[in-house]
A and B are shown apart, each in its own frame.
Chain A
Amino acid sequence: MSEVLVLVEHVEGQVKKVTLELLTLARKLGAPSAVWAGPGYSAEAKAKLAEYGAEKIYVADSADIADYVVAPKAELLAQLVSSASPAAVLVAATAEAKEIAGRLAIKIDSGVLTDAVGIGEGLVADQSIFGGGVNVQSRVTKGTPIIAVRPNATPVEAAAGAGAEEQVSVAVSDAAKVAKVVERVKEEKGARPELTEAAIVVSGGRGVGSAENFSIIEKLADSLGAAVGASRAATDAGWYPHQFQVGQTGKTVSPQLYIAAGISGAIQHRAGMQTAKTIVAINKDPEAPIFELADYGVVGDLNQVVPQLTEEISKRK
C-alpha cells in the first residue's frame, strides 16, 4: 500500500487535533506516514501519532526548519515525496500549511486542492465553496495530489499504526533561508482551544457593546470548553483581537456548535461559520439574518440571555 504523507501540526510539542483527523482520513487512502517538521518531537508525540494510525514517522526536528518562513518545510516535503513516492500529501487547511502546500506544488509540479472537507475514492476531494453555498468535487490531474483538509471536517478515530521512526536529515538550502523569523510574539490567549480546531465556538459581535463586556462571551465559552470568536465589527472596534475574527476575511470554522451573540449574520460573517453543524443565535432583533441559519434562536438582550445560559450550563454539569 502506498504511503500517504501527513504533515503534522504541532504547538509546543503537542500534536494538534487536526493531525489526528488527517491520519484518520489517510488510513482510508493508504499507509499514513506522519511528517514532523521543526523542534519539539518527543516520545509522547510519537505515541500519539502511532495511536491514530501512523505507520511511519519521519522526523526532521532541527531548529532551522522552523526559523525561516515556510520554504524549509516545503523543501522537506519535496524531498520525502521524491524518496517515498506517496499516493498523496495531506496538510491541514491552515494559513501556513496551505502556503507550504503551495510551494510544494511548484517544487514537485503537482496540483493542490485547498479547503477539502472530505476525500473519497480516487482521491476526489469534496470542497465547500462560496461560504458553504456550493459543494464541489475536484481532483488533482497532474503529479502527486496535495490536499489541504479543513480542521473539524473528519471525525477522529484511533487505530494503532506501527509508528516506525525515521530520522530525516535536511540541509535547508540557502534559497529557503531568505525570510528569517527573528522573534515570536505570543499574545495572551489563555487555556481556550484554538478557534479553527474547537468543537464549540462562541462568538460575539457589535451587540456585545464593549471590550469589557466580551467577558460574558468568554464565560459562556469557558462553561462549554469552547473557543471565542468575534465578528469583524467587534475586532474592528478593538474589542477582541483580530486573530479571533470569523468570516470571509477572518477564520473559517466548522465546529459542532456555533453560538453567535449580538451578531447580525452578514454574508461575510456567514462565509466563515455557515458549515457549523449546529448554530444557535442570540439577538435582540427578530429580523436579524443570523436567525435564517439558526437551529435555535433566542430573541432577546444578550446581557440577560448569555449570563443565564452560562449559569444554567454550570448548574447542569
Chain B
Amino acid sequence: MNIVVCVKQVPDTATERKLRSDDKTLDRDAADGVVNELDEYAVEEALRLKEAHGGEVTVLTMGPDKASDTIRKALAMGADKAVHLVDDALHGSDALGTSHALAQTLKKIGFDLVVLGSESTDARTGVLAAMLAERLNVPQLTFANKVEVNGSAITIQRVTDYGYDRVEASLPAVVSVVEKINEPRYPSFKGIMAAKKKPVEKLGVADAEIDAAQVGLANAWSEVTDFAAAPPRAAGTIVKDEGDGGAKAADFLASKKFI
C-alpha cells in the first residue's frame, strides 16, 4: 500500500505566537517550529498500516525551508521517504490554495491512502482533509479513531458528538485522525541516524503542476484585514478554602446571576 502522510510544521503552542505586521501571515520566526501534534498520530497510523499490510510511507509537507525539520522527525519515526513542497509562490496560501497545492502533488506522486491530522494547532481550520477528498474525488474518512484496511476495503470509526459512526469505503481514500487513535512512537537513535540517508525530494510549484494563480497570498480567497492582541483578562479574586470555599464560590456565582 502506498501511503502518503501530510505533515505540517506549526509554531510551538507553548511559545508566544504572532502574525507578521507586514503581510498579516503567520510569523514563523517568532516561535519554534514543531510538528503539528496530530500529524505525529497520522504518521504513527501510517506506519502501523504499513507494518500490517506492507507498502511504503511517504511524508508530504508544504512549507518553507525550515519545515525540513518536520520531515526529518517523520522520517526518524520510520517513514520511508519525503516530498517537500517548497516555493516562495506558496507563501500565504489559504486553505483553498493549500488544498490545491497538496492535491496536485498527491496526484503527481500517487497514493492508495492519504493520512492527515484532523486539525492543525495554528490555523485550526479543520478543513484540509475534506478539501483533499473533494479535490481528489476519493472517499472522505475523517475524524477517525480507528482505521481498518482489508484488501481494497477500508473502514473507520468517525468520532461524532454522540459517539461514533462506522464508515465504509474503498481505496484510494483520504483519512484524518484524532489523538485517541494511537500512541505515537518516539524516534529511536537508529531511526534518527537512518533518517539522514532517506530520500527527500523538493518540488516547486511548476514541478508539481500547481496552478500558480491558485496559490499564495495574492491569490487567496480570503484576507486578514486587521488584527490585534486580545486585551488581557482582568485579575480575579482568589480565596483560600477554610472550610467555606464552596459556599464562597456559590456567593460569587450568585453575584454573577448564575444561581
Q: Which 7 residue pairs of A and B lie closest in terms of their CB atoms, listed nearest first?
A: A308-B246, A300-B241, A111-B221, A102-B127, A312-B250, A187-B163, A309-B246
Asked whether B164 lies within 8 Å of A185 as measured between CB atoms, the reply is: yes
| B137 interfacial by beta-carbon distance below 8 Å | yes
Q: How far is the CB of B27 from chain A (nearest CB, A)?
A: 11
A181: CB under 8 A from chain B?
yes
A242:B178 contact, CB within 8 angstroms: yes
B134 and A74 contact, CB distance less than 8 A: yes
Q: Does B19 contact A (CB under 8 A)?
A: yes
Instruction: State the A residues within 8 Å of B (CB).
Output: 11, 69-71, 74, 94-96, 98-103, 105-107, 109-115, 124, 128-143, 175, 178-187, 189, 194-196, 200, 224, 235, 242-243, 248-249, 256-257, 267-268, 271, 278-280, 282, 286, 291, 293-301, 304-313, 316-317
**Contacts A224-B259, A298-B248 known; 13 new A-B pairs at CB < 8 A:** A74-B134, A105-B127, A133-B16, A134-B229, A178-B139, A179-B141, A242-B178, A295-B237, A296-B236, A296-B239, A297-B237, A312-B249, A316-B250
Complex Cα–Cα for A139 and B134 (A) = 23
Known: A112-B221, A136-B226, A138-B223. A305 touches B249 (CB 8 A): yes
Q: Which residues of B contact A74 (CB under 8 A)?
A: 134
Q: Which of A95, A297, A299 has the most CB of B within 10 A?
A: A95
**Bound complex: CA A224 to CA B162 (Å):** 21
A-B contact pairs, 26 of them (CB 8 A): A74-B134, A98-B125, A99-B130, A99-B142, A102-B125, A105-B131, A115-B124, A135-B229, A136-B19, A139-B223, A142-B221, A178-B138, A179-B133, A182-B168, A200-B258, A243-B161, A257-B256, A279-B236, A291-B236, A294-B238, A296-B236, A296-B249, A298-B249, A304-B245, A305-B245, A312-B247
SS class, residues of chain A in contact with chain B: mixed
- Footprint of A on B, CB under 8 Å? 13-14, 16-19, 37-38, 94-96, 99, 118-119, 121-131, 133-135, 137-143, 145, 157-170, 173, 178-180, 220-230, 233-234, 236-241, 243-250, 252-254, 256, 258-259
Which residue from A139, A181, A280 sits with its C-beta under 8 Å from B165?
A: A181
**What residues of chain A lie closer than 8 Å to B169, measured between beta carbons?**
178-180
| Cross-interface CB contact of B246 among A183, A294, A307, cutoff 8 Å | A307
CB nearest neighbor in B for A299:
B240
Q: Which residues of A contact B135 (CB under 8 A)?
A: 106
Please tell me if the beta carbons of A112 and B95 are within 8 angstroms of each other in the complex: yes
Which residues of chain A are within 8 angstroms of B139 by Cβ–Cβ distance? 69, 178-179
Closest to A105 in B: B96
Once the chains bind, are B131 and A313 in contact (CB under 8 Å)? Answer: no
Q: Which residue of A lies closest to B135 (CB)?
A: A106
Residues of B contacting A95 in the complex (Cβ-Cβ under 8 angstroms): 118, 126, 143, 159
B14: min CB distance to chain A, Å: 6
Chain B residues lying within 8 Å of A296, measured Cβ to Cβ, are 236-239, 249, 252
A118 vs chain B, min Cβ distance (A):
13
Measured between beta carbons, the chain A residues less than 8 angstroms from B222 are 111-113, 138-142
Distance to closest chain B CB from A259 (angstroms): 8
Q: Inside 8 A of A313's CB, which chain B residues have their CB?
A: 250, 253, 259
Complex-state Cα separation, A90 to B158, whole angstroms: 24
- Which A residues are in CB contact (< 8 Å) with B239? 296-299
Q: Is A267 a contact partner of B13 (Cβ separation < 8 A)?
A: yes
Distance A114 CA – B128 CA, assembled complex (angstroms): 12
| Interface pair B96/A112, CB less than 8 Å apart | yes
- Cβ–Cβ contact B166 & A257, under 8 A: no
Residue of B nearest to A200 (CB): B258
* A22 → B minimal CB distance (Å): 17
Instruction: State the CA gap A255–B243 with chains docked (Å).
Output: 28
Chain B contacts of A94 at CB under 8 A?
Answer: 161
Given contacts A99-B127, A313-B250, contact A180 B95 (CB under 8 A): no
Given A74-B134, A178-B139, A308-B246, answer yes or no on A248-B259 (Cβ-Cβ < 8 Å). Answer: no
Given contacts A69-B167, A248-B121, contact A305 B238 (CB under 8 A): no
A189, B162: Cβ atoms closer than 8 Å: yes
